[in-house]
Copies of this chain bind each other. A is one copy, B any other.
């Protein structure tokens, strides 16, 4: 088998065999296929696409390039959740304790943030003492004992994906649906859960800008899950404005805690109930979505979800008093208002610009090696559909450096569209891709 023939075949639009895909993934991971041939194949895949079968084979080949987490020591149906990434998306912080309180074991491996989107692991590190690196045995033990754990994803899962992603990142081949789907699913399958709930974000702050494209990605990932024998469901949800009001690590932890206390933002709560109900359904802890939502609402009202959050924080060496004393979270020295230049209704908030503003304030990484400021970020005061007067605050910036403040104020101002008419409400959940498509 020759890599040249594999590139040519895909370039001509033909379907690659499982053997050819494995030859490529193993050869590239093993250093026997050079970067330039892999880059040519990735670009050919960008243009020609991959069939459902090829996408599944690519996923499994990448998954098989490393170890798989063994969660068999944890009793019950383990359910994982993955979001394709958005601005202000702290749903995992709420979901993990909430569904764990409902009896669903959650062994969660999460990533760090890059560019305009944040990462769960960074957010948790805003809690004093919280440890995100754990030995596999300790991780399993915590899930058995507490019902949930959240750790940083390590390189031993799907190393081929790590290598290929780095190559895609420098060859303009990231935004291909089969390549995104196989990248996500190779890690999810290697992470070992029995069932997976996917939150595919669509809108100005997401990788997927169009609803149809988001459904295609969701279908592709669900199909991979099915072929790999994992019950998989995807929700397609809005990311046309940030989720909730807070963007930035410590600020988002505070908002997640408010939500667990029952007074979080409406949109964040709704997303958490929808995703959480689906997780309960797949874990066999609810007969339908409505029953799942009821259970979760009760766990929020009774304080059981908040208690579970505190248990997880304590188990991972964090200071669980953060739920009572907000002052324990790192706080930025400088607070600056961004005010409305004119009166009217908020028509739209460009989520990507808000994410970029938070990154420039210190909350995110411009490059993989950048240091982040856990206290930095911003809190929106107005969201789409709300009324604002001229001079009234649109958002408050939190930062420790004046350096790029003027630039950031401009970015945030330009992220808002203000007009005379109250905009039509837009859906928060566009739809679901069920298990058997």
Of the listed stretches A169-177, A222-230, A250-258, A362-370, chain B binds A169-177
Output the nearest chain B residue to A2 by Cβ-Cβ distance: B170
Q: What residues of B have a CB within 8 angstroms of the CB of A39 in the complex?
A: 35-37, 39-40, 43, 171
Interface residues of A in 126-176 (CB under 8 A from B): 167, 170-173
Contact code string A22-46 (vs B, CB < 8 Å = 1, else 0): 0000000000001111111011101
The verdict on A121 contacting chain B, using a C-beta distance below 8 Å, is no
Min Cβ gap A267→B in Å is 32
Q: What residues of B have a CB within 8 angstroms of the CB of A38 in the complex?
A: 36
Output the nearest chain B residue to A44 by Cβ-Cβ distance: B43
Min Cβ gap A173→B in Å is 7
Q: What residues of B have a CB within 8 angstroms of the CB of A43 in the complex?
A: 11, 39-40, 43-44, 47
Contact code string A250-280 (vs B, CB < 8 Å = 1, else 0): 0000000000000000000000000000000
Q: What residues of B have a CB within 8 angstroms of the CB of A173 in the complex?
A: 11, 40
Assess the B4–A172 pair: CB atoms within 8 A. yes
The verdict on A336 contacting chain B, using a C-beta distance below 8 Å, is no
Cross-interface CB contact of A170 among B37, B42, B44, cutoff 8 Å: B37
Q: What residues of B have a CB within 8 angstroms of the CB of A8 in the complex?
A: 172
The verdict on A91 contacting chain B, using a C-beta distance below 8 Å, is no
The verdict on A358 contacting chain B, using a C-beta distance below 8 Å, is no
Min Cβ gap A321→B in Å is 46
Number of copies: 2
The verdict on A7 contacting chain B, using a C-beta distance below 8 Å, is yes
* Separation of A129 and B190 alpha carbons in the complex (Å): 67
Output the nearest chain B residue to A5 by Cβ-Cβ distance: B172
Q: What residues of B have a CB within 8 angstroms of the CB of A35 in the complex?
A: 34-36, 39
* Separation of A36 and B172 alpha carbons in the complex (Å): 11
Contact code string A172-193 (vs B, CB < 8 Å = 1, else 0): 1100000000000000000000
* Separation of A39 and B42 alpha carbons in the complex (Å): 10
Interface residues of A in 102-143 (CB under 8 A from B): none
Min Cβ gap A44→B in Å is 6
Min Cβ gap A102→B in Å is 44
Output the nearest chain B residue to A3 by Cβ-Cβ distance: B170
Cross-interface CB contact of A36 among B4, B7, B36, B44, cutoff 8 Å: B36
Assess the B36–A171 pair: CB atoms within 8 A. yes
Min Cβ gap A24→B in Å is 13
Q: A43-B43, A43-B44, A44-B43 are in contact. Are A37 and B171 (CB under 8 A)?
A: yes
Min Cβ gap A166→B in Å is 10
* Separation of A34 and B166 alpha carbons in the complex (Å): 14
Among A35, A36, A38, the one with the most B-chain Cβ atoms within 10 Å of its Cβ is: A36
Assess the B44–A11 pair: CB atoms within 8 A. no
**9 shortest interchain CB distances as A-B pairs:** A43-B43, A40-B171, A35-B36, A36-B39, A8-B172, A7-B172, A39-B39, A39-B40, A47-B47
Instruction: Please report A residues at the B interface, Cβ cutoff 8 Å.
Output: 4, 7-8, 11, 34-40, 42-44, 46-47, 167, 170-173
List 6 other contacts, CB 8 Å, given A34-B36, A40-B40. A4-B170, A7-B172, A8-B172, A36-B167, A44-B172, A47-B47
